[in-house]
């Protein structure tokens, strides 16, 4: 049995990962979360141990980390706009929090760390496809916090022999994302409440959408592999917002109004990523079509009605 601690394991991606690891077999999972954005009710308490704690407390981290073989570090304040309004909070939570985690791992000899980073927020507005060889130029404090995470993972791998792997996620969508502000979750909530869908620009902007089920399998194989460094995890394909709207129409069977407004200043127009490095290093292989993934996600949103049950 491999003992894996998931920080932020009560959040969107964490609950999927915890379920996926327990269902795959061979993993004993502990979730660590302060419930600022996620909720312990989302965690399957029969299969997974829940530890209430905060990254900013070394004592909390230490009690959760003792005896673990690997850590998947997902805990973060993930709200980009909030990080612009209050960079100090983001710094305390994401930067100091990550540093505390690495220090406790070093002290306790937990040497396998797989951490969530981000593609778009790290490299800024560059010509796609985004890849790992691009020089980072974050455009928000949130993006800067992920760059710090990558820097320290690399430093702790080089200086202390830890094996740190930073996975740069693209736009992740899927069930259990009701609390998220990402585009698919946002559109589905607007459809459920009968509001028009607002698109900034003409809908030609492109993003890379990865189904959460494909992502968590990618994280699982990354934990077991020994890869060190940064890796893009996405679908490897661009989808424009207009294409997404068409797929959403067919997945939901709903007719809805779309309101086109001016492009927002600073918004990246086209971004998608290359995933060859992760394919080569640990066999990352996303297989869920956007069509299927949206269908499964809509089913879940529909079952929630006016809001999530947990």
For residue 35, state whether it binds ligand NAD (rule: CB under 6 A).
yes
**In sequence order, which residues have a C-beta less than 8 Å from that of residue 232 and are 6 or more positions away?**
119, 130, 131, 132, 168, 170, 273, 274, 275, 277, 278
Minimal distance in Å, beta carbon 37 to ligand NAD? 4
For residue 172, state whether it binds ligand NAD (rule: CB under 6 A).
yes
142 a catalytic residue: yes
98 vs 227, beta carbon nearer ligand NAD: 98
Minimal distance in Å, beta carbon 262 to ligand NAD? 25
Helix (H) or strand (E) holding 114: strand 112-118
Minimal distance in Å, beta carbon 210 to ligand NAD? 8
For residue 75, state whether it binds ligand NAD (rule: CB under 6 A).
yes
CA–centroid distance for 36 within its chain: 16
- In the list 55, 71, 191, 233, the residue contacting ligand NAD (rule: CB under 6 A) is 55
For residue 185, state whether it binds ligand NAD (rule: CB under 6 A).
no
For residue 227, state whether it binds ligand NAD (rule: CB under 6 A).
no
| Strand ranges in 150-274 using DSSP code E only, listed in sequence order | 163-169, 171-173, 197-200, 206-207, 209-211, 229-233, 239-240, 258-261
Cβ atoms of residues 183 and 241 within 8 Å: yes
For residue 12, state whether it binds ligand NAD (rule: CB under 6 A).
yes
Neighbours of 197 (CB within 10 A): 18
- In the list 23, 24, 26, 36, the residue contacting ligand NAD (rule: CB under 6 A) is 36
- In the list 21, 76, 230, 247, the residue contacting ligand NAD (rule: CB under 6 A) is 76
For residue 38, state whether it binds ligand NAD (rule: CB under 6 A).
yes
Phi-psi group of 79: left, alpha or beta (phi > 0 → left; psi -120 to 50 → alpha; rest → beta) = beta
For residue 218, state whether it binds ligand NAD (rule: CB under 6 A).
no
Return the residue matching tokens 């790290």: 122
For residue 236, state whether it binds ligand NAD (rule: CB under 6 A).
no
Q: Where are the alpha helices (DSSP H) in 66-140?
A: 80-85, 87-90, 97-108, 120-123
Binding-site ranges for ligand NAD (CB under 6 A): 8, 10-14, 33-38, 54-56, 74-78, 93, 97, 116, 118, 169, 171-172, 180, 182
Catalytic sites, residue numbers: 142
């Amino acid at each position: 049995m491999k003992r894996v601690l998931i920080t932020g394991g009560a959040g969107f991606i964490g609950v999927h990962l915890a379920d996926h690891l327990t269902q795959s077999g061979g993993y004993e999972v502990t979730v660590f979360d302060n419930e600022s954005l996620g909720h312990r009710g989302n965690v399957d308490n029969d299969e997974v141990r829940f530890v209430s704690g905060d990254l900013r407390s070394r004592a909390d981290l230490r009690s959760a980390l003792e005896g673990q073989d690997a850590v998947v570090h997902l805990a973060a304040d993930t709200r980009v706009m909030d990080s612009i309004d209050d960079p100090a909070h983001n710094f305390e939570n994401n930067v100091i929090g990550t540093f505390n985690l690495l220090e406790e791992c070093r002290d306790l000899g937990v040497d396998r760390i797989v951490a969530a980073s981000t593609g778009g927020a790290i490299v800024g507005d560059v010509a796609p496809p985004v890849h790992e060889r691009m020089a980072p130029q974050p455009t928000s404090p949130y993006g800067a916090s992920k760059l710090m995470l990558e820097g320290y993972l690399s430093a702790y791998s080089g200086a202390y022999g830890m094996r740190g792997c930073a996975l740069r996620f693209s736009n992740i969508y899927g069930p259990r994302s009701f609390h998220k502000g990402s585009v698919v979750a946002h559109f589905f909530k607007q459809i459920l409440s009968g509001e028009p869908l607002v698109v900034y620009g003409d809908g030609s902007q492109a993003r890379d959408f990865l189904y959460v089920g494909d992502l968590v399998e990618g994280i699982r194989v990354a934990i077991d592999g020994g890869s060190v460094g940064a890796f893009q995890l996405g679908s490897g394909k661009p989808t424009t917002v207009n294409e997404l709207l068409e797929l959403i129409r067919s997945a939901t069977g709903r007719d809805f109004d779309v309101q086109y407004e001016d492009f927002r200043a600073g918004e990246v127009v086209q971004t998608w990523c290359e995933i060859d490095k992760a394919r080569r290093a640990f066999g990352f292989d996303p297989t869920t079509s956007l069509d299927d993934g949206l269908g499964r996600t809509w089913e879940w949103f529909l079952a929630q009605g006016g809001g999530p049950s947990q």
